[in-house]
Amino acid sequence: MRTAYTADQIRAAEHRLMARLPEGALMQRAASGLAAACATMLGKVYGSRVTLLVGSGDNGGDALYAGALLARRGARVEAVLAGSRTHEAGLEAFLLAGGRAVEAGTGTIERADLVVDGLVGIGASGALREPYRELALAADAAAAPTVAVDVPSGVDASSGRVEGAAVRAALTVTMGARKTGLLVDPGAALAGEVELVDIGLGPYLPDPDVVALTGADVAALLPRPAAESDKYRRGVVGVVAGSDQYTGAAVLAVGGALLAGAGMVRYAGPGEPVAQVRSHWPEAVITELERPSLDGVGRVQAWVVGPGLGTGDWAREMLAQVLASDVPVLIDADGLTLVARERDLLGRDAPVLVTPHAGELSRLTGAGRDEIEADRLRHARGAAADLGVTVLLKGSTTVVAEPDRPVRVNGTGTAWLATGGTGDVLSGVAGALLAQGLGCYDAGSCAAYLHGLAGRIASSGAPLHAAGVAAAVPAAIRELTGRELTGRPAPR
């Protein structure tokens, strides 16, 4: 599990640790980790040109001490001192090691083999001011890669929010613990690779603000069929999706559920989608509906409701009946539009997982779509608390929020997944995990991980289509769990 923390959490932990250490010890640890990462990126340190962008705080101090270490190894290191003041001891060490302070605009950034962004770290507030903004833009325009110290300057360490200009790093060397803003877009997209330097903060850290599951975490959570499993005990998913107008959503949601390991999928819908589901998935158990009713559909362990369902009376009645059941329900797409109109529908005791994209969450909460995109964490958390449900907010980093738990973020996706129908597949995958007994929090975060990985497998760097993502879900599970998938050693 990768954990991340807000700036306030980090600062509090640092204070407790600093009280036990000699002055400056933490910064020395940070700087040596930073210098080592820069050296690796440079390949050959001797003779290379390194330009430091140095702000007025300790973030600049880290850069200066690291610059001193690189200068001692023969690099030509120049520092642009951008703040109204400069970390004194760091500057002294830097100059003593042979580093040079230079003005901005002397071509130092353009000539560099590597730029080190030490403008601001966790002490930043608001959009980058001048001259920092100008320097961030110059670093972005330069040919050399940028290594960000702690966080890319311009990215809010606690949220990933970016107001105005920000540094685009190839590598972010982060001190003591990951910052939340490095795991959540738009910040995550600007951080590049993230390397964590251990400065001994571990014992002083509180519960994390956000966490990201690793492949091993997901593998450990995924339900596995045991020898005595039968199709009912492996989890029966009910899918209420699709309409005579939108048939594909039904096919994709059923496919996602089947291929993510549901023991059985029951599909209930009108004639057109029934015909499509039947021809694509003979495995599904189908009830063709003459009227909107779940009577006679049979027991399920979880429902997926909403993709392509429409928003008319039929859809509203189906949604209400699904929500009147006593099993977990995943609501997506048109189901969310209906819930936005009629919040009372959510009043139930059994768990609810909603899977909006930013536009759908906007309808649910009234916040602007752009505002949600800019601060995904805050809005997902707020919606989970307000609605009393688990919220999986889709996007380039998917976040899963549930009251009183760290937000889970997922970065396995690829931009190619932003195409029609992939959300329907995700709802089926998550529904299969719910039906197999995972709670909404685990089902949502594991489904996001698997779906992202399946997207990568289906894409391989090229366009993908939603049915291809569903088809790649077993390969994604195989990649995570390998031979132990059956719960037994692989046959020879």
Ligand X SMILES: NC(=O)C1=CN([C@@H]2O[C@H](COP(=O)(O)OP(=O)(O)OC[C@H]3O[C@@H](n4cnc5c(N)ncnc54)[C@H](OP(=O)(O)O)[C@@H]3O)[C@@H](O)[C@H]2O)[C@@H](O)CC1
Does position 59 interact with ligand X (CB under 6 A)? The reply is yes
Specify the residue, 42 or 167, whose C-beta has the smaller distance to ligand X.
167
Minimum Å gap between C-beta 75 and K ion is: 19
Question: What is the closest distance, in whole angstroms, from the C-beta atom of residue 59 to K ion in the complex?
Answer: 5
CA distance 308 to 153: 42
Q: How far apart are CA 449 and CA 451, in angstroms?
A: 6
Among positions 149, 182, 190, 466, the unique one binding ligand X when judged by CB under 6 A = 149
Task: In angstroms, give the least distance from the CB of 175 to ligand X.
Answer: 4
User: By CB under 6 A, is residue 56 in contact with ligand X?
Assistant: yes
Is 215 marked within a binding site?
no
- Decide if residue 129 touches ligand X (CB under 6 A): yes
Q: Tell whether residue 81 is a contact of ligand X (CB under 6 A).
A: no
Contact in structure between 63 and 149 (CB atoms under 8 Å):
yes
List 162's β-bridge partners, or say none.
Answer: 155
Angle at 386 between CA 381 and CA 391, to 5 degrees: 45
Which lies closer to ligand X via its Cβ, residue 89 or residue 350?
89
Contact flag: residue 44 with ligand X (CB under 6 A): no
Q: Which two tokens stand for residue 102?
A: 């230079």
Whether residue 63 is annotated as binding a ligand: the answer is no
- Please check whether residue 28 is in contact with residue 54, taking contact to mean a CB–CB distance below 8 angstroms: no
Among ligand X, K ion, none, the one that 117 touches (CB under a kind-dependent 5 to 8 A) is K ion
126 binds ligand X (CB under 6 A): yes
- Is 55 known to sit in a ligand binding site? no
Are the C-beta atoms of residues 71 and 97 closer than 8 Å to each other? yes
CB of 169 to ligand X, least distance (A): 13
**Is 379 a known ligand-binding residue?**
no
What is residue 490's DSSP assignment? P
C-alpha distances in Å from residue 480, one per residue of 450, 475, 484, 485: 9, 9, 10, 9
* Cα separation, 32 vs 178, whole angstroms: 17
Decide if residue 58 touches ligand X (CB under 6 A).
Answer: yes
Concatenate the DSSP letters of all residues of 306-369 into one string: -TT--SSHHHHHHHHHHHTSSS-EEE-THHHHHHHH-GGGG--SS-EEE---HHHHHHHH---H
Note the residues at the interface with K ion (CB under 5 A). Answer: 117, 148-149, 153
**Binding site feature residues for (6S)-NADPHX:** 58-62, 121-127, 132, 150, 249, 308, 357, 424
Note the residues at the interface with ligand X (CB under 6 A). Answer: 14, 18, 26-27, 30, 55-60, 62, 83-84, 120-129, 132, 149-150, 175, 199
**Binding site feature residues for K(+):** 59, 117, 153
